[in-house]
Amino acid sequence: MEKEDIHVTIDGNTVSISAEVKKASEDKEGDKVLRSERYHGKVYRGFSLGQDVDEAGAKAKFDKGVLELVLPKKTVTAARKLAIE
């Protein structure tokens, strides 16, 4: 799988990872094709976290077949009291 085929989406506290897999192989003996195989498929995984994710600080890294996600928590803003005019 190539990193261009992997898509990560963050929506609040929901993280979705999807990828498209394409493989093709062919065995030949001279000009004659002995075996030809093609595989095409999609994979998807979605999960919810306990808190919303800070999209600006989120990072994804793909190295040697391992996808690493850094998903920092969104800072919770304290309640603010409004002055009545």
pLDDT tens, position by position, 46-61? 999 988 888 888 999 9
The residue among 26, 24, 69 whose CA lies nearest residue 49 is 69
pLDDT tens, position by position, 9-65? 999 899 999 999 888 898 988 888 889 999 889 999 999 998 888 888 899 999 988
Q: Given pLDDT bands bounded at 50, 70 and 90, which one contains residue 8?
A: very high
To the question of pTM greater than 0.85 for the whole model, the response is no
Buried b (16+ CB within 10 A) or exposed e, 28-47: eeeeeeeeeeeeeeeeeeee
Could you say which of 2.60.40.790, 2.160.10.10, 3.30.460.10, 2.60.40.1930 is the CATH number of the domain covering 3-70? 2.60.40.790
pLDDT at residue 77 tops 90: no
Domain layout of the chain by residue ranges = 3-70
pLDDT at residue 76 tops 80: no
